[in-house]
């Protein structure tokens, strides 16, 4: 099953951030023995994976390579795919 995460917007109302708003840290998660910040988009992605999604397609803008880097390895058992939308 394929999940889609629309993340191509400019985020102009939340600037000045040095990163995409989808990676804004909200809460934390346990990674092994370490507590790490949890990106706001991880809550959506985690629920998708729990629902049976095995591929997650992120629709990103051309300036959002940080999302690509963050999810490049996928999430859990789900592979990550990326589509670049030139204009939001």
pLDDT at residue 63 in the model: 85
Instruction: Report the CATH number that the domain containing residue 59 is assigned in CATH.
Output: 3.90.550.10
Cβ atoms 56, 71 nearer than 8 A: yes
What confidence category does residue 11 fall into, taking pLDDT thresholds of 50, 70 and 90?
Answer: low
Burial class of residue 56 in the structure, from the number of CB atoms within 10 Å of its CB (0-12 exposed, 13-18 middle, 19+ buried):
buried
Which stretches within the chain are classed as H helix? 40-50, 65-71
Number of domains into which the chain is organized: 1
CA distance 23 to 72: 13
Cβ atoms 83, 61 nearer than 8 A: no
What confidence category does residue 29 fall into, taking pLDDT thresholds of 50, 70 and 90?
Answer: confident
pLDDT digits (tens, 9 = 90+) for 56-67: 999 999 888 999
The pTM is what?
A: 0.86
The domain containing residue 21 runs over which residues? 2-85
What mean pLDDT comes out for the span 8-18?
74
Q: Label the pairing between strands 55-61 and 2-7.
A: parallel
What mean pLDDT comes out for the span 25-42?
92
């Amino acid at each position: 099953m394929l999940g889609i995460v629309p993340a191509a917007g400019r985020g102009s109302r939340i600037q000045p951030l040095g990163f995409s708003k989808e990676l804004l840290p909200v809460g934390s998660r346990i990674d092994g023995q370490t507590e790490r910040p949890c990106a706001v988009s991880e809550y959506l992605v985690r629920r998708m994976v729990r629902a049976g999604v095995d591929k997650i397609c992120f629709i990103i803008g051309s300036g959002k390579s940080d999302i690509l880097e963050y999810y490049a390895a996928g999430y859990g058992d789900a592979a990550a795919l990326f589509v670049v939308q030139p204009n939001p």
